[in-house]
C-alpha cells in the first residue's frame, strides 16, 4: 500500500513537472523597418509617414496584454537625431521592449556609431532572453559590416569575410548587408547548447533574412549560420525584417518569416502580433502583413 502511495505521489510530481515545463500561452508584438527620418519620400519609401504609422501601431498594441514587443531593425533610416522622434513613441508602449539592430540604425556620423546601441536601450549588440520555455536569441547581423563594425578587429574580420565570400558569387554580397562574427557564432552555439540542456524552444530574431537561397538581402554568412542551427531540433523560428516585401518559407522545421516593412507605401502600415501556444505560433497581421499559423513540431 505504501509503495502504491509513493508511486502515485511520484506520478503526480512528474505530471506537475511536465506541466510547468510546457509554456502557457503568451502574446507579443512585432514591428519591422519603421525606418523613420525627416526626409522626402523616395520610391515607395515614405519616411515622414512612419511616425503616424508607428503611433497607430503602438496604440493598437497597447490595447493588448503583450509579454513584449520587438522591433526587427532599421528603426531609423539615417541621422542620429531621428531616434529622438521615434523613441518617445516606442517608450509609450506598455509592454516590455526589445530592439534588433539594423543596417540603417548605423547610418549616422562615424563618431556617433558606437552610441547607437545605448541610444536604443541595448546593453549588448546581441543578447538573449527567456520567456516560459522559449529562449529568444537576438542576433546582430551588423557585427561584421561596412556600416556597423566599429573596432579594428571587427573591421578586419569584415574585410576577410567579404573577400572570402567573393568566390561564392552570391547576390547577398552587398555592402548594405552584414554578417555574424566568429565570436557571435560561438556565443550562439553556447546559447543553443544551454537551450538544449534545459529543453527550451529557440526562436531567432535578426534584421537580415537567412532562409531562402539566393535572396540578395541575406546575412552574408547565412550558410554558416544555417549549418550551425541544423544540429539543433529545438530551433523553431527565425524572424527578420530588411526585405520590405516580406517572405516566408519553412526549412528543416524552422519557420523563416520576413516581416513586411512598416515604412513602405503612403497610407498602409504593417505590423503584427504573435500568439505562442503549446504547439503553434499564430501571427495576426495588421495592414499589409498577412496572418498565418505556424505549427511547432
Q: At closest approach, how far in Å is the CB of 258 from Zn ion?
A: 11
> Angle at Cα 92 formed by Cα 87 and Cα 96, nearest 5°?
95
Burial 136-174 (b: 16+ CB within 10 A, else e): bbbbbbbbbbbbbbbeeebeebbeebbeebeeeebebee
Of 59, 39, 63, 61, the C-alpha closest to 49 is 39
Tell me the C-alpha to C-alpha distance, in Å, between residue 173 and each of 65, 104, 128, 176, 185: 41, 17, 27, 9, 19
Q: Would you say 117 and 125 are in contact if contact means Cβ atoms under 8 Å apart?
A: yes
In angstroms, what is the minimal distance from the CB of 177 to Zn ion?
A: 8
To the nearest whole angstrom, how small is the minimum distance from the Cβ of residue 85 to Zn ion?
19
Stretch 44-103 residues interacting with Zn ion (CB under 5 A): 74, 102-103
Q: Which is nearer to Zn ion, 74 or 140 (CB)?
A: 74
Cα–Cα dist 131/164, whole Å: 38
Residue placing its CB nearer to Zn ion in the complex, 241 or 285: 241
* Closest CB to Zn ion: residue number: 242
Per CB under 5 A, the list member of 78, 125, 135, 242 interacting with Zn ion is 242
Q: How far is the CB of 219 from Zn ion (least distance, A)?
A: 11
Of 184 and 240, CB closest to Zn ion: 240
Which residues make Cβ contacts (< 8 Å) with residue 66, sequence separation at least 6? 27, 28, 29, 94, 95, 273
Q: 162 vs 259, which CB is nearer to Zn ion? A: 259
Q: How far is the CB of 238 from Zn ion (least distance, A)?
A: 16
Please count the residues of this chain forming the interface with Zn ion, following the rule CB under 5 A: 4
Q: Is 22 helix (H, G, I), strand (E, B) or coil?
A: coil
Spatial distance between the Cα atoms of 124 and 117, rounded to a whole number of angstroms: 7
29 vs 141, beta carbon nearer Zn ion: 141
Q: Which of residues 100-129 bind Zn ion (CB under 5 A)?
A: 102-103
CB-nearer residue toward Zn ion: 103 or 221? 103
Tell the smallest beta-carbon distance from residue 198 to Zn ion (Å): 32
Interface contacts to Zn ion, rule CB under 5 A: 74, 102-103, 242
Amino acid at each position: 500500500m505504501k509503495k502504491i502511495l509513493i508511486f502515485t505521489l511520484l506520478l503526480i510530481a512528474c505530471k506537475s513537472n511536465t506541466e510547468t515545463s510546457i509554456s502557457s500561452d503568451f502574446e507579443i508584438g512585432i514591428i519591422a523597418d519603421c525606418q523613420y527620418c525627416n526626409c522626402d519620400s523616395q520610391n515607395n519609401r515614405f519616411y515622414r509617414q512612419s511616425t503616424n504609422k508607428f503611433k497607430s501601431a503602438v496604440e493598437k498594441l497597447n490595447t493588448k496584454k503583450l509579454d513584449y514587443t520587438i522591433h526587427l531593425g532599421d528603426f531609423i533610416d539615417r541621422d542620429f537625431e531621428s531616434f529622438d522622434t521615434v523613441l518617445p513613441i516606442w517608450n509609450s508602449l506598455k509592454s516590455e521592449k526589445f530592439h534588433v539592430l539594423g543596417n540603417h540604425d548605423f547610418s549616422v556620423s562615424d563618431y556617433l556609431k558606437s552610441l547607437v546601441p545605448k541610444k536604443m536601450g541595448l546593453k549588448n549588440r546581441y543578447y538573449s532572453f527567456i520567456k516560459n520555455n522559449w529562449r529568444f536569441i537576438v542576433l546582430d547581423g551588423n557585427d561584421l559590416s561596412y556600416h556597423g563594425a566599429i573596432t579594428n578587429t571587427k573591421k578586419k574580420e569584415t574585410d576577410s569575410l567579404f573577400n572570402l565570400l567573393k568566390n561564392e558569387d552570391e547576390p547577398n554580397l552587398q555592402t548594405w548587408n552584414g554578417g555574424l562574427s566568429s565570436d557571435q557564432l560561438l556565443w550562439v552555439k553556447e546559447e543553443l547548447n544551454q537551450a538544449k540542456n534545459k529543453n527550451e524552444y529557440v526562436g531567432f530574431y535578426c534584421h537580415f533574412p537567412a532562409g531562402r537561397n539566393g535572396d540578395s538581402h541575406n546575412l552574408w554568412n547565412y550558410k554558416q549560420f544555417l549549418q550551425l542551427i541544423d544540429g539543433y531540433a529545438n530551433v523553431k523560428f527565425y524572424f527578420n525584417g530588411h526585405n520590405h516585401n516580406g517572405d516566408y518559407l519553412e526549412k528543416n522545421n524552422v519557420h523563416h518569416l520576413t516581416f513586411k516593412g512598416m515604412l513602405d507605401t503612403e497610407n498602409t502600415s504593417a505590423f503584427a502580433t504573435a500568439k505562442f501556444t503549446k504547439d503553434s505560433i499564430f501571427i495576426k497581421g495588421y495592414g499589409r502583413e498577412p496572418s498565418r499559423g505556424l505549427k511547432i513540431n
